[in-house]
Amino acid sequence: MQSRPAGGLRRRIIYNNDGDDLAIVAYRDSEGSVTKISSEHPYPHRYQSVDEFLGKRMKGKIDGTQVDSIFYCGFAGEPNWEFPSKNLSALGPDPLKHVVDYAHENGMEFVYSLRMNDIHHAVHTGSYRWSPFRRKNLHLLQGNVDGKWFDRKVWPWARGLTGLYPEYEHPLAEVLENE
C-alpha cells in the first residue's frame, strides 16, 4: 500500500489500541517483574502465532466494520522494539509489522502512536516495564512515584472526582465503578 498524507484525511472510526496486547505478553515474568499478572488475564504467557496475537484485539473483530484507521501505541515507557522478546518469538523480529500488514490488507490506515511522560510503570511493584535506559539512569528520575501516590493523585482525576468538572463526576464515576 502506498503511503498517503495523513493531514486532512477524513476518518470514520479510529481503533485506538493501547499496545497492551503486545506489552503484557512481552513483560510477563520478565526481569524486574515483582508484579505477577493474573492467570485470569486475557493474554497468554507467550504468543504461539501471528494469528493468536492479531486475534486478541483486531483480527475477526474490526475487519469488515467501519473502522478505517488503527492507531497503535507502541511506546509507553519504552518503544516496542526494546520489549523483552522471549514471549514474542513466534512473531519474529518486528511484531508490529503484522499489525501494519493486517491494517493495510483490510484497507485500513495504520498510525504508530506513543505516550509521552507515561507513568504506568509507577503502579507496579519493582521495575516491571522499566526500560533498560530507565534502570541505568535512576539519577534522571524527577520524583518518587509509587502506587500510593498514583491512588491519591491519579485515580481521583481519572474517575472525575477532583471537583474541577462537577458535571462529569457522577456519570463518569458510576461508569468506572461498574466496570
Per-residue confidence (pLDDT) for residue 172, from 0 to 100:
47
Summarize pLDDT for 76-103 with one digit per residue, the tens. 767 788 888 899 999 999 999 999 999 9
Give CA–CA dist 172/23, Å, rounded: 27
Query: Cβ distance 99 to 140 under 8 Å?
Result: no
Number of Cβ within a 10 Å radius of residue 95: 23
Helices assigned H by DSSP within the chain: 20-27, 50-57, 96-105, 132-136, 147-149, 155-158, 166-177
Per-residue confidence (pLDDT) for residue 28, from 0 to 100:
82
